[in-house]
Amino acid sequence: MPIEFRCDRCEKKLRAPEGAIGKEAKCPSCGALITVPGADVEEDRIELAEDFPIRSDGDDESDTDDGRAEDDQFRPIAPRTRPIWAGRRISEDSSFWGLLLGSFLYPFAGNGPWIIGVGALFFAVAWALSYFMSLLGAIIGSLLLAYQVSAMMGVLSLSGAGYSEMPDWPSVTNLYDDVVRPCAIFFLPMLIYIGPTIILDAVGVEEWICWTVFGVGLLLMPMALLGITLSESAAALSPHIVIPAIMRIPLQYISACALLWATLPLGGVLSAYVESVPFLGGVLGIAVGLYLFAVQMRILGILYYANREKLRWFELE
């Protein structure tokens, strides 16, 4: 029987298995270290449990309450890969359609314009300097791109947790945990779902087959990205997880995908236009890219948050 309680710091509703009573774990919402209380927790603190289960870092048990291996369970993204502060919370009964158009205003909420502006200036200067550094410059440029992706993954995970403002740029205390790992999580769904098209084309398979495989991969990849970002479990990439999730919210998912893919050519057009501005063109082009990247991640995040009860990814029966 799962234990239901709230985080002492952020008041997030949480759920943990009975075996975790008395153990310490990190809150998936704010990152605070908390002790899972006993079953006699106060009535007014439990109400309805949130979807995120608590996992204790010291829990070595291989099976969960429902008999599935722990590696196959979805876990919340590690709090160290995202900042603790992320602004106000979205109303728990908000609908996807009500939040969708607001995704395009999301980067302007709170400190969003400052975050994007400073980030665009930093990346513009850093990439300009790396251009003159040959091999070292290529390495620095790759790390800058990975850092940018890591920051946008924070937007996705925090939007999925119900926060309404952009997180600050992540601090880098550990290059692997703070930059490399989130970046790898971002590109892994692309490798799994778009990679086969590249292989088929390389070996000379008929063009219509390649396009069919590409279309299917393009359809499944956003849900796979959403799942692996929120869970950090490779199981989230499996079609037997991805396809049923899509079938639970088909109209909302197709609408989200349409907006995701529509922003790609839009970004190219806008970037080309603003880059013609003297002196500031490069900075403005990067700012447009960051803005649209944040919008894309926001759309995926609210897709989960508004449909978390239908998707049931994190529930413990």
**Positive or negative torsion for Cα 67, 68, 74, 75:** positive
Q: What pLDDT is stored for residue 171 in this prediction?
A: 81
Looking at the fold, whether 297 and 173 belong to one and the same domain comes out as yes
State the pLDDT confidence band at 22, using cuts at 50, 70 and 90. Answer: confident
| Range scoring the smallest mean pLDDT among 20-24, 27-31, 135-139, 173-177 | 27-31
pLDDT per position as a tens digit, 203-247: 999 999 999 999 999 999 999 999 999 888 888 999 999 999 999
Q: What are the residue ranges of helices labelled H in 19-133?
A: 96-100, 112-130
Looking at the fold, whether 124 and 169 belong to one and the same domain comes out as yes
Of 70 and 291, more confident: 291
Looking at the fold, whether 65 and 196 belong to one and the same domain comes out as no
Domain encompassing residue 272? 96-311
Looking at the fold, whether 251 and 120 belong to one and the same domain comes out as yes
Helix, strand, coil percentages for the chain (3-state, nearest 5): 60, 5, 35
Q: What pLDDT is stored for residue 72 in this prediction?
A: 36
Q: What pLDDT is stored for residue 233 in this prediction?
A: 85
Is residue 83 assigned to a domain? no
Packed helices 239-248 and 207-231: angle between N→C axes, nearest 10 degrees? 80
State the pLDDT confidence band at 54, using cuts at 50, 70 and 90. Answer: very low
At CB < 8 A and 24+ separation, what contacts does 100-107 make? Answer: 100/255, 100/256, 100/259, 100/299, 100/302, 103/259, 103/295, 103/298, 103/299, 103/302, 104/295, 106/159, 106/164, 106/165, 106/166, 106/294, 106/295, 106/298, 107/166, 107/290, 107/291, 107/294, 107/295, 107/298
Helix (H, G, I), strand (E, B) or coil at 3: strand
State the pLDDT confidence band at 29, using cuts at 50, 70 and 90. Answer: low
Is residue 86 assigned to a domain? no
Distance CA(58)–CA(250), nearest Å, equals 38
| Average predicted confidence (pLDDT) for the chain | 79
Residue in this structure with the two tokens 């979807």, named with its chain if needed:
51
Looking at the fold, whether 185 and 153 belong to one and the same domain comes out as yes
25 pairs with which residues across the strands? 34, 56
Distance CA(300)–CA(294), nearest Å, equals 10
Looking at the fold, whether 265 and 299 belong to one and the same domain comes out as yes
pLDDT per position as a tens digit, 36-50: 787 554 433 333 333
pLDDT per position as a tens digit, 149-189: 999 998 998 898 888 888 888 888 888 888 888 899 999 99
Looking at the fold, whether 41 and 120 belong to one and the same domain comes out as no
Q: Is the pLDDT score of 122 beyond 70?
A: yes
Is residue 84 assigned to a domain? no
Looking at the fold, whether 161 and 267 belong to one and the same domain comes out as yes
Of 127 and 249, more confident: 249
Q: What pLDDT is stored for residue 31 in this prediction?
A: 62
The percent of residues in the chain predicted with pLDDT above 70, rounded, is 79
Query: 225 with 238: CB under 8 angstroms?
Result: no
Read off the tokens for 272.
């080309």
Is residue 173 assigned to a domain? yes
pLDDT per position as a tens digit, 63-117: 344 433 333 333 333 333 333 444 577 877 788 998 998 999 999 988 889 999 9
Q: What pLDDT is stored for residue 71 in this prediction?
A: 35
Of 33 and 222, more confident: 222
Distance CA(115)–CA(120), nearest Å, equals 9
Q: What pLDDT is stored for residue 193 in this prediction?
A: 95
Of 301 and 29, more confident: 301
| Range scoring the smallest mean pLDDT among 18-22, 94-98, 202-206, 279-283 | 18-22
Looking at the fold, whether 190 and 257 belong to one and the same domain comes out as yes
| Range scoring the smallest mean pLDDT among 15-24, 129-138, 306-315 | 15-24
Is residue 90 assigned to a domain? no
Looking at the fold, whether 26 and 135 belong to one and the same domain comes out as no
Is residue 79 assigned to a domain? no
| Overall residue count recorded for the chain in this entry | 317
Helix (H, G, I), strand (E, B) or coil at 286: helix
| Average pLDDT rounded to a whole number, residues 301-307 | 93
Is residue 85 assigned to a domain? no
Structural domains of the chain, count: 2
